[in-house]
Amino acid sequence: MSHPHPELGPPPPLPEGGLRIVPLGGLGEIGRNMAVFEFDGRLLIVDCGVLFPEPDQPGVDLILPDFEYIRDRLDDVEALVLTHAHEDHIGAVPYLLRERRNIPLIGSKLTLALIEAKLGEHRIQPTKVEVVEGERHVFGPFDCEFFAVNHSIPDALAVAIRTPAGIVLHTGDFRMDQLPSDGRLTDLGGFARLGSEGVDLLMSDSTNAEVPGFVTSEREIGPVIDEVIRTSEQRVIVASFASHVHRIQQVMDAAARHGRKVALVGRSMVRNMGVARDLGYLKVPPQLIVDSRDIEEWPPEDVVLICTGSQGEPMAALSRMANRDHPIRIAEGDTVLLASSLVPGNETAVNKVINGLTRWGARVVHKGNAKVHVSGHAAAGELLYVLNLTRPSNFMPVHGEWRHLRAHAKLAALTGVPEDHIVIAEDGVVVDLVDGRAKIVGAVHAGYVYVDGSSVGEITDTSLKDRRILGDEGFISVVVVVDSNTGKLTAGPEIHARGSGIDPAQFDEFIPQIERALAEKAADGVVDMQEIRRVVRRTVGRWVSDTYRRRPMIIPVVVEV
């Protein structure tokens, strides 16, 4: 198997007639999906998503792909193909369009409608090309054919990209539910036809490559949701992804059957379900929906609330309810249904929310104690099925952490793909398809770009390290005034501490040590302010470490007179 090496250098020029693939996100992580295809000097992008921050990235709202690789070549971009409307595939589109607003967005009706609603908040009017499964569209040298795939959001697509270098099939996110609630099956016949034509490179969803067998059908979830709503004596609060139209439909249908009204809570939930209803993807029974602001007027046994926050996001509606920081107050006897899978890394946040809800007397139903969610990603049995249908000459697992990519690569080897034709790449690794062979040829920078409030890319890894230190250890500032000519101390030291856990009275005993250290440097003729700052920092740091076994951030402030 071909895989990246830490010493990979910049890629060579793309050989004539070759196709270059550069993943800028989504490999080695769940999220931030983005791949750039290059042929004959022109570019095609597939997906442009975000990654949600981990607890060790304090203050970060979103993480974007790094656009630096294509920033000087944005005029070469023929189109941006969006496989579906989940945030990890479309969330970064507004930030890319800030750099070139007229990049054509290619996608299905629902995908484009949801991204247009999102772009409206950024005051961007996109250039759109709506496509449906079975169609072929040409964008520069890229001949794209679209295939229906079943996923946890309607209207998802796979795309086959034809160039003179060969055929690449990018599955997007998919599963093979044989009884989908919307009746839209993954187009296995189309995949087989493409396999007969000859797939030169298969890029396939790896998220569930470690899970054996086939995923449970979406239809098996409906009766469970119905039972939860039927047996609940008070309010039912359902937390789901704001894009999971199928799940919201099941909840609404169950609520209508049992005579309950439904209120949508959360801006993204209201926006997305409004779009889905207007386009006919969400069927809402008459008089079912009520305004969430009027929900307290209804008897609790007649109400179902649908909100965001199933991943424990601190600012989402459900987390705020758990923290008693929301107009809707959790009461004894309420039932909370977490109707979503758990995104890796969110376990602690979700458990905190569950505990908070339980504290106020709610019964919490989740994937751990009831069958209330099925994955939107194909398990190993389905992945093997697609590999056997398409019979690719080369294989590149995408969309997954390292363990998922490697598990998927092993499946490909089992189906007969030669191991030296299996490419395990990571973000930034450059893969060239030349003369029917896919090989790693180099790497480009594809680091994290952090969104913090209104700032994009201004926060660095060093900034986050400082934030972690401040959050874990606090800080100590030391102000000294020195003579700029002699380096001698003329006033201070004055010490202030926050969050360090150190008694300020202890500093009085330590101040003479700082004075001695500065006097020694002055005697040696040191007048450089940078060196004096280092002396203060080292002296204070050594004392705190030896005395308290702590490592707070130390901020020396040297004033010259």
Q: Is 455 annotated as a binding residue?
A: no
Query: Is the predicted pLDDT of residue 286 greater than 90, yes or no?
Result: no
- According to DSSP, the β-strands at 142-148 and 157-163 are antiparallel
Could you tell me which residue, 137 or 560, shows the higher pLDDT?
137
User: How is residue 518 written in tokens?
Assistant: 């500065």
CA dist 97 to 35, 74, 104, 454, 524, Å?
Answer: 16, 10, 10, 16, 58
What domain count does the chain have? Answer: 3
Q: Is 482 annotated as a binding residue?
A: no
Query: Is the predicted pLDDT of residue 456 greater than 80, yes or no?
Result: no
Structural domain contains residue 14 = no
- Is 408 one of the catalytic residues? no
**0.95 surpassed by pTM:** no
Q: Is 309 annotated as a binding residue?
A: no
Claim to verify: residue 334 and residue 263 sit in the same structural domain: yes
Question: Would you state the pLDDT for residue 59?
Answer: 67
Claim to verify: residue 262 and residue 193 sit in the same structural domain: no
Q: Is 545 annotated as a binding residue?
A: no
Reported as a pLDDT band with limits 50, 70 and 90, residue 221 is confident
| 238-247 per-position pLDDT tens digit | 988 888 899 9
Q: Is 377 annotated as a binding residue?
A: yes
Task: Name residue, tokens 């202890």.
Answer: 506
Query: 312, 340, 365 — which closes off a domain?
Result: 365
CA dist 349 to 54, 67, 87, 481, Å?
Answer: 10, 30, 19, 46
The CATH number of the domain where 490 resides is what? 3.10.20.580
Which candidate in 170, 366, 377, 404 is catalytic? 377
Q: Which domain holds residue 244?
A: 218-365
Structural domain contains residue 117 = yes
Q: Is 242 annotated as a binding residue?
A: yes
Q: Is 84 annotated as a binding residue?
A: yes
Claim to verify: residue 210 and residue 276 sit in the same structural domain: no
| 506-523 per-position pLDDT tens digit | 777 777 777 778 777 777
Q: Is 373 annotated as a binding residue?
A: yes
Instruction: State the average pLDDT over residues 440-448.
Output: 92
Instruction: State the average pLDDT over residues 218-242.
Output: 90
Which candidate in 155, 205, 253, 432 is catalytic? 205
Question: Would you state the pLDDT for residue 345?
Answer: 61
Dihedral class, residue 191 (left if φ above 0, else alpha if ψ from -120 to 50, else beta):
alpha
Instruction: State the average pLDDT over residues 37-52.
Output: 94
The CATH number of the domain where 301 resides is what? 3.40.50.10710
Q: Is 155 annotated as a binding residue?
A: no
Number of Cβ within a 10 Å radius of residue 418: 12
In order, the DSSP letters of 472-498 are: HH-EEEEEEEE-TTT--EEEEEEEEEE
Question: Would you state the pLDDT for residue 470?
Answer: 63
109-121 and 267-278 helices, crossing angle to 10° = 140
Structural domain contains residue 10 = no
Query: Is the predicted pLDDT of residue 385 greater than 80, yes or no?
Result: yes
In order, the DSSP letters of 97-136 are: HTT-TTPEEEE-HHHHHHHHHHHHHTT---EEEE--TT-E
- Is 377 one of the catalytic residues? yes
| 333-367 per-position pLDDT tens digit | 999 998 876 666 667 778 888 888 999 988 988 87
Claim to verify: residue 177 and residue 118 sit in the same structural domain: yes
Claim to verify: residue 381 and residue 359 sit in the same structural domain: no
